[in-house]
């Protein structure tokens, strides 16, 4: 059984035990990936994922725990290793062994995206554990063209897979990582020892959340968590990277940990660039927080992703050029659940329908608020409005 195990969870454990009960294997081998080919960069280091996997194994029934071992050759390779490479190596090392590979239904559905799928089918027998809502498991008589005819909605599981008895919990590592980063309930989805390890190490955004809770005032921290939550939902709706959206949402206001006069001083000492910075310092220094937040995200939290830093930087004043992620964070900040101004709910609903229109509406609402309060309007926001009106 291979995978990122980022983190390992109860679904992995259930699948492993079900396969063991069905196959009665002489040996169980778990192969954590350094980086899975069809997934992005892992949320936790390879070393931490191996440690978590060992804790999961320690909780297996005794008869299977004794037969279970970890093969960390992919981790030691420090590169993306394809499953076909690992299976060929295992076949060379154990030429007389009957190999069975266990996957969840989501991995089975993507089988023909794996490297050398026809070779994979010859190297071992394949088993799948079905989760709720999984694609159709094709019968052996189905079309041989890459797994046969499409199931409803285009999802199908190739006919060479054998189905493990039972239904398996609808749990994914992605959901656990996102839940942890947005303050939602996540620990019940994995085992107690793994959850304790995640908390202790501050994985999946927990360390960031702790630092923000320590440094931000309570209303600002609550706003931060609301923005992260809405950012995740909007990213799903508009097909954007959820992890980048949540990270930008968490850190968009980290610069609010200091008063406006301190912001100006810190921006000068760090040489943070902001448009019309002298006017901002003189008229409304609080507007520096978005630029300072991006710099703090880089310096204090180690964020290097230019897309995330850009979204943090542009979430208050915007910019003449904005990516979809930039717009998403701008809108999420303006209409998060903690916002109680009259237009927040309609704008929030609009954001799920059309992000560009919502961005324009949020900018107009900000300018109208400034005008009604006789406040200074930053020239960048005015220029952006002029561009969006065209």
Question: In the chain, how many domains are there?
Answer: 2
Task: Indicate if 216 and 351 belong to the same structural domain.
Answer: yes
Residue 73 belongs to domain spanning: 2-171
Task: Indicate if 237 and 372 belong to the same structural domain.
Answer: yes
Calculate the CA 57 to chain-centre distance: 25
- In this prediction, residues 308-320 reach a mean pLDDT of 97
State which of 171, 188, 216 marks the end of a domain. 171
The verdict on residue 150 lying in a domain is: yes
- CA distances to 164, 236, 292 from 23, rounded to whole Å, are 10, 38, 57
Task: Indicate if 163 and 226 belong to the same structural domain.
Answer: no
Nearest to residue 306, comparing CAs of 241, 362, 387?
Answer: 241
pLDDT at 340 (0 to 100): 83
Nearest to residue 172, comparing CAs of 367, 5, 343, 23?
Answer: 5
Q: What single string gives the DSSP state of each residue in 21-61?
A: HHH--S-EEEEE-SS-TTS-S-SS-HHHHHHHHHHHHHTS-
The verdict on residue 190 lying in a domain is: no
Task: Indicate if 141 and 215 belong to the same structural domain.
Answer: no
Task: Indicate if 321 and 247 belong to the same structural domain.
Answer: yes
Give the sign of the dihedral formed by CA 243, CA 244, CA 247, CA 248.
Answer: negative
Q: Report CA dihedral (338, 344, 346, 348) to the nearest 10 degrees.
A: -50
Alpha-carbon gap, residue 317 to 94, rounded angstroms: 62
pLDDT tens-digit map of 317-357: 999 999 999 999 999 999 999 998 888 899 999 999 999 99
pLDDT at 152 (0 to 100): 39
Task: Indicate if 90 and 227 belong to the same structural domain.
Answer: no
Task: Indicate if 40 and 99 belong to the same structural domain.
Answer: yes
The verdict on residue 186 lying in a domain is: no
The verdict on residue 200 lying in a domain is: no
- In this prediction, residues 75-103 reach a mean pLDDT of 96
The verdict on residue 199 lying in a domain is: no
Three-class DSSP labels, 223-266: HHHHHHHHHHHHHHHHCCCHHHHHHHHHHCCHHHHCCHHHHHHH
State which of 152, 171, 190 marks the end of a domain. 171
Task: Indicate if 154 and 279 belong to the same structural domain.
Answer: no
pLDDT at 41 (0 to 100): 75
Task: Indicate if 357 and 216 belong to the same structural domain.
Answer: yes
> In this prediction, what percent of the chain has a pLDDT beyond 90?
85
- In this prediction, residues 26-45 reach a mean pLDDT of 90
pLDDT at 132 (0 to 100): 81
For the entire predicted model, the pTM comes to: 0.87
Task: Indicate if 211 and 157 belong to the same structural domain.
Answer: no
Do 244 and 308 meet the contact criterion of CB atoms below 8 Å apart? yes
What is the DSSP secondary structure assignment for residue 131, as one 8-state letter? P
Q: What single string gives the DSSP state of each residue in 171-234?
A: --HHHHHHHHHTT---GGGS-HHHHHHHHHHTTTTHHHHHHHHHHS-HHHHHHHHHHHHHHHHH
- In this prediction, residues 262-266 reach a mean pLDDT of 92
The verdict on residue 191 lying in a domain is: no
HSE toward the beta carbon, residue 139, CA cutoff 13 A: 2
The verdict on residue 10 lying in a domain is: yes
Highest mean pLDDT among 153-157, 226-230, 259-263, 366-370: 226-230
pLDDT value at 57 more than 50: yes
Task: Indicate if 216 and 349 belong to the same structural domain.
Answer: yes
Q: How confident is the model at residue 40 (pLDDT cuts 50, 70, 90)?
A: confident
pLDDT at 137 (0 to 100): 67
Per-chain mean pLDDT for the chain:
92
Task: Indicate if 34 and 159 belong to the same structural domain.
Answer: yes
Q: Which CATH number is 31's domain given? A: 3.40.50.620
The verdict on residue 177 lying in a domain is: no
pLDDT tens-digit map of 115-152: 999 999 999 999 999 988 766 767 665 543 444 434 33
């Amino acid at each position: 059984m291979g995978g990122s195990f980022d983190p390992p969870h109860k679904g992995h454990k259930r699948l492993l035990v079900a396969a063991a009960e069905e196959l009665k294997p002489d040996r169980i081998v778990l192969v954590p990936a350094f980086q899975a080919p069809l997934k992005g960069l892992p949320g936790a280091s390879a070393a931490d994922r191996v440690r978590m996997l060992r804790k999961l194994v320690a909780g297996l029934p005794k008869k299977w725990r004794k037969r279970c071992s970890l093969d960390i050759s992919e981790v030691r390779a420090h590169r993306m290793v394809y499953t076909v490479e690992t299976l060929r190596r295992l076949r060379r090392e154990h030429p007389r062994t009957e190999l069975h590979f266990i996957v969840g239904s989501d991995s089975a559905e993507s089988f023909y995206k794996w490297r050398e799928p026809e070779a994979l089918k010859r190297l071992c027998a394949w088993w799948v554990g079905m989760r709720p809502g999984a694609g159709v498991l094709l019968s052996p008589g189905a079309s041989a063209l890459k797994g046969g005819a499409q199931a409803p909605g285009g999802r199908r599981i190739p006919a060479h897979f054998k189905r493990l008895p039972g239904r398996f919990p609808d749990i994914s590592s992605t959901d656990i990582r996102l839940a942890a980063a947005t303050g939602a309930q996540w620990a019940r989805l994995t085992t107690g020892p793994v959850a304790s390890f995640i908390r202790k190490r501050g994985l999946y955004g927990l360390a960031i959340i702790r630092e923000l809770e320590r440094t931000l005032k309570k209303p600002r921290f609550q706003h931060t968590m609301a923005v992260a939550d809405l950012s995740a939902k909007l990213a799903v709706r508009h097909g954007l990277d959820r992890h980048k959206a949540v990270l930008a949402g968490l850190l968009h206001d980290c610069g609010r940990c200091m008063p406006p006069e301190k912001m100006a001083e810190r921006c000068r000492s760090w040489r943070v660039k902001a448009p019309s910075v002298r006017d901002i310092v003189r008229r409304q220094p609080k507007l520096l927080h978005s630029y300072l937040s991006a710099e703090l995200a880089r310096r204090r939290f180690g964020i290097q992703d230019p897309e995330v830093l850009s979204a943090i930087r542009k979430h208050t004043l915007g910019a003449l050029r904005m990516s979809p992620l930039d717009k998403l964070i701008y809108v999420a900040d303006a209409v998060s659940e903690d916002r109680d101004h009259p237009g927040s709910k309609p704008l929030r609903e609009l954001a799920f329908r059309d992000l560009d229109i919502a961005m324009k509406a949020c900018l107009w609402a900000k300018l109208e608020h400034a005008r009604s309060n006789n406040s200074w309007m930053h020239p960048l926001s005015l220029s952006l409005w002029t561009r969006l009106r065209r």
